[in-house]
Amino acid sequence: MFELLKRDTQTKARLGRLTTAHGVVDTPVFMPVGTQASVKALDPRELREMGTQIILGNTYHLNIRPGLDIIRAAGGLHRFMNWELPILTDSGGFQVFSLAKIRTIKPHGVEFRSHLDGSPLFLGPKESMEIQRVLGSDIAMVFDECPPHDAPPKEQRQAVERTIRWARECREQPRAPGQLVFGIVQGGSNPALREECAKELVAMEFDGYAIGGVSVGEPEPDMLKAIEFTEPFLPAAKARYAMGLGTPAQMIELIARGVDMFDCVLPTRIARTGTAVTHAGAFALKGSAHKTDFGPIEEGCECYACRTFTRAYLRHLLRANEILGLRMVSVHNSHLYLKVMTEVRAAIAAGTFAEFYREFIANYTPSQKILAHRRREVER
Amino acid sequence: MFELLKRDTQTKARLGRLTTAHGVVDTPVFMPVGTQASVKALDPRELREMGTQIILGNTYHLNIRPGLDIIRAAGGLHRFMNWELPILTDSGGFQVFSLAKIRTIKPHGVEFRSHLDGSPLFLGPKESMEIQRVLGSDIAMVFDECPPHDAPPKEQRQAVERTIRWARECREQPRAPGQLVFGIVQGGSNPALREECAKELVAMEFDGYAIGGVSVGEPEPDMLKAIEFTEPFLPAAKARYAMGLGTPAQMIELIARGVDMFDCVLPTRIARTGTAVTHAGAFALKGSAHKTDFGPIEEGCECYACRTFTRAYLRHLLRANEILGLRMVSVHNSHLYLKVMTEVRAAIAAGTFAEFYREFIANYTPSQKILAHRRREVER
């Protein structure tokens, strides 16, 4: 299912190909996030045009709304949302632990209340896999426990133990035809826990491995360490997926550390508040600097927004709360994420990734938040 | 500029062609409304694909935001918003009288405060025409006074007098190259005022004539009467435009009464609350009846939304507040308005409009609000 086509000689970057029931995915890949069966503000044609290979859906959200009966009646998630390419579904583990307010962890899952109407729900390995089977995703994720990054060591250990036990349960559940299942490594910033969790999951022979417990509010250096603590214990012959990450520069850093797959709400989320991402970093389009700036968001960009509109016009739309403004920034940002992955794959194929990596990072200005974390790191 | 190609023998319906600086407009025509330099939620490609011939922009809004300097620097409204087909700009008269809270009417215009930040502004015939000249619209509208439908007779008379005087001032202002100017007939529900206003404006020889003071909260029968009181005094050789109207059935009624041009925010406005329009009337897509309804919004519709998505999926998107939901209903509703006009033009050309008209009205269920007004009318 996963073919490792090439390994970079100077970094851990890998070129690969993942074959799923709905088509082939070239890696490294960015997967736009369609939590509620829609990549926010974008339509399937726009997603295809910008080169999307695979999108995400979410077990927790789709099970609550529209509910499984409706998606079953539609003939699965692909047909419900009219998306013919691959879909990866997250298991709902992350959402149960981050969204649901009142919860009780039981041996076989979690009792919680819907974040929408407070109704009592239960989600565990068995339920999550059954939902993902009905959704008919190409890649299902195991139901894991994802503690916050500042959880005490005891909680991190318990989460790893449950994650391992639940992964084994998930492994045994029925699947949709051709559905792949990925394990999720937890363990926070603890190298021993990461190693233990990875080894246990690898022994279960999943179709791919995700690194979870990242992008849960931790500083960037801790995130990078969590990846570095985990990667050496993952088999080279399987795809590796860093969940919920990141900025373009972070994705490049992680590709250099051996990661193949990414998903992130960032490009569409920041678009809705008027922040555009380019190869040089992110900037606020609403700023008065763009009042009469009649260039595109990014010079040379081939996305529909950059081919059609100026910064001055988009700034006006955003200030006037016109939906076309956030739509077009969502188009550009998502296109940029996908475009960077295309460039990465070309560089690995050409044997020039190390150079690409250096230049990309040198050219990219990280956000103030990330820079502040880096400064604190240096001062430690 | 306007060619009258054919007149229906059984009704007052007309087939025409209006030539503007940015292209030809086949009439009867529906003009999607882009108040703030964007037809809400739609992009130019979508507008082209659904057959849009001409869109609206608004003098009052664009002058306040982004401001004239920015649009001047962009090279006019067409280039600012990247719309190459014709644009009609409303004069701002309606908005000054409906949006601006504090206003003082002066001989040469209106002092008012911006609805956005309360800053003092002045708009009169001279200012409105100068703004429209800079916007570079293909059709400019005269600056008129539009009183509410329940304004006392004295106020209606004053509004007509000012509208006539201001129209004369507008007539004399400089224009953009090739820019047409339409007069606006006021006069409320008073046949004598309508006749007087129409005759005075026609004597000034405008490029076309709008019927204003409709769609200002009046019951449907009053709206139809206002049109019937005005139309006989408008020259056959010029285009007639009913401002701010209406439902598909109302547009058909008005076409049968000799109107050629329409604009209305209805298709995109009701789309944002989940109401879809079809040849049979409007309905709420969020209703539970559509839970597992896997047909399109309208059977046989060729719009992108109907070709791509089911009612069940769109209902889910609308309930989950996904932007794609309101986008797709905006696509369908706007397409439906344009499609109905295409059907109207074909029927007039084929000499079958009277039949089309009867069938359309018989098949179309008006909203409860319109039905309630009709019932009251019958009871009088």
Which of B106, B111, B131 is closest to B122 using CA atoms?
A: B111
The C-alpha of A17 sits at a distance from chain B's nearest C-alpha, in angstroms, of: 29
Q: Any idea which residues of A carry the catalytic annotation?
A: 90, 263
pLDDT, residue A373, reads: 78
Average pLDDT, chain A: 96
Catalytic residue among B8, B90, B144, B260: B90
Are the CB atoms for B55 and B32 separated by under 8 Å? yes
A205 φ, ψ to 5°?
A: 55, 70
B150 is catalytic: no
What is residue A281's three-state secondary structure? strand
pLDDT, residue A177, reads: 97
Percent of chain A with pLDDT over 90: 93
Q: Is the pLDDT of residue A158 over 90?
A: yes
Banded model confidence at residue A161, pLDDT cuts 50, 70, 90:
very high
One-letter identity of residue B146: C
Q: Is the pLDDT of residue A71 over 90?
A: yes
Residue in A65, A308, A315 closest to B320 by CB? A65
pLDDT, residue B100, reads: 76
Average pLDDT estimate for B273-294: 97
Residue contact A323–B323, C-beta within 8 A: yes
Instruction: Give Cα separations from B196 to A323, B97, B157, B225 (angstroms).
Output: 43, 22, 10, 16
Pairing of strands B281-284, B109-113: unpaired
A-chain residue closest to B331, CA distance: A43
Are the CB atoms for A326 and A269 separated by under 8 Å? no
Give the whole-angstrom CA distance, residue B127 versus residue B171.
Answer: 13
The C-alpha of A106 sits at a distance from chain B's nearest C-alpha, in angstroms, of: 30
Each residue of A167-177: pLDDT tens digit? 999 999 999 99
pLDDT, residue B80, reads: 98
Percent of chain A with pLDDT over 70: 99
Does the predicted TM-score (pTM) go above 0.80?
Answer: yes
Banded model confidence at residue B378, pLDDT cuts 50, 70, 90:
low
What is residue A139's three-state secondary structure? strand
What's the maximum distance between 2 C-alpha atoms anywhere in chain A?
60
Each residue of A213-238: pLDDT tens digit? 999 989 999 999 999 999 999 999 99
Q: Could you tell me if A304 lies within 8 Å of chain B, comparing CB atoms?
A: yes
The C-alpha of A73 sits at a distance from chain B's nearest C-alpha, in angstroms, of: 7
Average pLDDT estimate for B132-160: 96
pLDDT, residue B90, reads: 97
Q: Could you tell me if B81 lies within 8 Å of chain A, comparing CB atoms?
A: yes
pLDDT, residue A98, reads: 86
Q: Is the pLDDT of residue A59 over 90?
A: yes
Banded model confidence at residue A290, pLDDT cuts 50, 70, 90:
very high
Alpha-carbon torsion, ordered B192, B195, B196, B200, to 10 deg: 180
> Within 10 Å of residue B363's Cβ, how many Cβ atoms?
12
Q: Could you tell me if B37 lies within 8 Å of chain A, comparing CB atoms?
A: yes
B306 φ, ψ to 5°?
A: -75, -30
B-chain residue closest to A307, CA distance: B82
Q: Could you tell me if A74 lies within 8 Å of chain B, comparing CB atoms?
A: yes
Banded model confidence at residue A324, pLDDT cuts 50, 70, 90:
very high
Banded model confidence at residue B368, pLDDT cuts 50, 70, 90:
confident
Each residue of B89-115: pLDDT tens digit? 999 999 998 887 788 999 999 999 998
What is residue A197's three-state secondary structure? helix
Provide the angle, in degrees to the nearest 10, between the axes of the packed helices A220-230 and A248-256. 30
Contacts of A78 in chain B (CB under 8 A): none
What is residue B57's three-state secondary structure? strand
pLDDT, residue A378, reads: 67
pLDDT, residue B254, reads: 98
Q: Is the pLDDT of residue A361 over 70?
A: yes
Each residue of A30-50: pLDDT tens digit? 999 999 999 999 999 999 999
pLDDT, residue B240, reads: 98
DSSP letter string, A318-368: HHTT-HHHHHHHHHHHHHHHHHHHHHHHHHHHHT-HHHHHHHHHHH-B--H
